[in-house]
Amino acid sequence: MNLTLSLVFASAESTASATVATPSCACCRSALVQRRNRRTGENFLGCSQFPKCRGTA
């Protein structure tokens, strides 16, 4: 019984870690990456295709 419970929990943990979604750009559907604002130093999400695409979130 203990082995069965450990297998169930191990399966649930691997499924949870595999479902992380990467946000996509609304303009071109490419991946968004974390960037830092030069003036304020704040982080934001910007398109990975910059400068071709200037989409942000």
What single string gives the DSSP state of each residue in 2-27? HHHHHHHHHHHHHHHHHTPPPPB-TT
DSSP assignment of 39-51 equals TT--EEEEETTTT
Report DSSP state, residue 33: E
Answer yes or no: is pLDDT of 54 > 50.
yes
Answer yes or no: is pLDDT of 2 > 70.
no
pLDDT of residue 52: 97
Say how far apart CA 53 and CA 43 lie, in whole Å: 18
pLDDT digits (tens, 9 = 90+) for 4-31: 445 445 555 555 555 678 899 999 999 9
